[in-house]
């Protein structure tokens, strides 16, 4: 059957366009590599994350781009190193000229929403960059960093309006995510959910605390901090489970690529009250938040894309958080504009098991937040500079970074040292 239109002959039924892949990033806050069941945690439950891991690929060498909140999030959203996007500590805000993943997806027809923590800083001229000005169509959650310490918030920002809320943080964000998923239909979307668990304050609903109360040694049984920490992660897992169940119920799961990870390693700071220390949250690695040792930058991570990313697999391919931007953009059918100067590598084919890992060197800096460190990694070798001290580790055979190989492999040591110096020389003056 044909129709005649303006003298031409067209099929009555146009060929349906393939549905675009949608994306969800589930981002924990200060969660250590060893805080989840799929990485060996036994003394609290993360059944929904463990199920997600069984349905996708677990990346054992997934690295955040910076071991502190705001810079790591800026790297995730721009695909760029800190020295190039300008957020090199918690104070500065993401410059308005930087292109986020939400902005990159918009011309491809995506609706992007942020439900959770937007770690605003301060622009040089005053004010800050709102996520609604960086490609997001809806926002709900925290803007101020200290506000994002509160797990029982009284106020959230919905867009540019402050609203009253009541409940536990990850439940509120899951509720908003579920509402969004039930209303999006078959339109492509990017759902970014930066939770604040298990970032301090250490607090959780009593029903979850009761599950772990008495299970751990406590400094003060009346203030069961270690039980509360376990309960925070347990509650986060339940919230994530509700989002995943909604994907199944709405029929969106098979066409949605999910990335789960954390912004940086667990902290041993005062606000954590010793909980991460007691639970050895970054195990088996040394280091913590604000450190470029493995415990500060190696994250729990899962990628699930049914039928495309292998299920039930563990990978030791090094992945850098800046890779997420170009990889998701590739899955959407796009490529970064060269003018954006994205540092990350499109790892989509690697995630799918179609290509081997590329030969490359990835980098880190920490010259603020109380640290003075640099690092570079190529394959299994990691160059680490702490002040004036320089080390070379094989993080596959020595993941706890106990034995420097600088004297044994001087050529690798010198190569990575020179590459790091050359990389630092590319820093953009702000």
Q: Domain residue spans in the chain?
A: 22-357, 372-424
User: Are 135 and 325 in contact, with CB atoms under 8 Å apart?
Assistant: no
The H or E element spanning position 324 is helix 324-331
pLDDT of residue 1: 34
Q: With CA atoms as reference, report the closest residue to 353 among 294, 303, 284, 404.
A: 303
The per-residue pLDDT for range 276-310, each reduced to its tens digit, is 999 999 999 999 999 999 999 999 999 999 999 99
Task: Pick 372-424's CATH classification: 3.30.1120.10, 3.40.50.12240, 3.40.50.12780, 1.10.10.10.
Answer: 3.30.1120.10
The per-residue pLDDT for range 367-382, each reduced to its tens digit, is 987 789 999 999 999 9
16-20, 178-182, 195-199, 372-376: least confidently modelled range: 16-20
Q: With CA atoms as reference, report the closest residue to 192 among 253, 107, 252, 261.
A: 261
Q: Is the pLDDT of residue 264 over 50?
A: yes
Which class would CATH give 22-357?
Answer: alpha beta
172: left (phi over 0), alpha (psi -120 to 50) or beta: alpha
Cα(132)–Cα(330) distance, integer angstroms: 23
List Cα–Cα distances, 273 to 60, 61, 196, 226, 228, in angstroms: 28, 28, 16, 9, 11
Cα angle 105-256-301, degrees, rounded to a multiple of 5: 95
User: Are 51 and 260 in contact, with CB atoms under 8 Å apart?
Assistant: no
The per-residue pLDDT for range 91-145, each reduced to its tens digit, is 889 999 999 999 999 999 999 999 999 988 777 767 789 999 999 999 999 998 8
């Amino acid at each position: 059957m044909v129709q005649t239109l303006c003298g031409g002959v067209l099929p009555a039924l146009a060929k349906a366009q393939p549905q675009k892949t949608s994306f969800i990033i589930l981002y924990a806050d200060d969660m250590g590599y060893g805080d989840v069941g799929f990485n060996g945690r036994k003394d609290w439950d993360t059944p929904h994350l463990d199920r997600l891991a069984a349905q996708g690929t677990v990346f054992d060498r997934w690295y955040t781009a910076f071991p502190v909140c705001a810079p790591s999030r800026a790297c995730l959203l721009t695909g760029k190193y800190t020295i190039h996007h300008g957020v090199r500590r918690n104070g500065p805000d993401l410059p308005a000229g930087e292109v986020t993943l939400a902005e990159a997806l918009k011309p491809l027809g995506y609706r992007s929403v942020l439900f959770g923590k937007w770690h605003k800083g301060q622009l040089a001229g005053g004010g800050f960059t709102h996520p609604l000005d960086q490609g997001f169509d809806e926002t709900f959650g925290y803007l101020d960093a200290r506000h994002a310490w509160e797990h029982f918030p009284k106020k959230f920002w919905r867009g540019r309006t402050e609203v009253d809320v009541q409940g536990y943080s990850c439940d509120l964000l899951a509720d908003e995510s579920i509402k969004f998923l039930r209303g999006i239909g078959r339109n492509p979307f990017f759902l970014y959910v930066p939770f604040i668990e298990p970032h301090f304050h250490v607090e959780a609903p009593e029903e979850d605390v009761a599950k772990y109360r008495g299970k751990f040694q406590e400094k003060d049984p009346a203030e069961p901090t270690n039980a509360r920490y376990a309960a925070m992660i347990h509650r986060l897992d339940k919230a994530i489970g509700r989002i995943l169940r909604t994907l199944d119920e709405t029929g969106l799961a098979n066409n949605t690529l999910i990335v789960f990870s954390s912004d940086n390693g667990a902290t041993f700071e005062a606000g954590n009250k010793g909980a991460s220390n007691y639970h050895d949250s970054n195990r088996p690695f040394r280091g913590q938040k604000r450190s470029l040792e493995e415990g500060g930058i190696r994250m729990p991570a899962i990628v699930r894309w049914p039928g495309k990313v292998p299920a039930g697999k563990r990978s030791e391919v090094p992945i850098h958080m800046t890779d997420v931007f170009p990889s998701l953009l590739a899955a959407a059918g796009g490529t970064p504009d060269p003018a954006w100067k994205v540092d990350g590598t499109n790892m989509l084919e690697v995630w799918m098991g179609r290509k081997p890992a590329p030969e490359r060197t990835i980098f880190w800096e920490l010259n603020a937040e109380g640290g003075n460190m640099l690092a570079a990694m190529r394959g299994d070798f990691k160059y680490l500079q702490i002040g004036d001290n320089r080390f070379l580790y094989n993080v596959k055979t020595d993941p706890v970074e106990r034995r420097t190989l600088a004297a044994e492999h001087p050529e690798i040591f010198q190569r990575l040292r020179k590459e790091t110096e050359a990389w630092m020389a590319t820093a953009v003056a702000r």
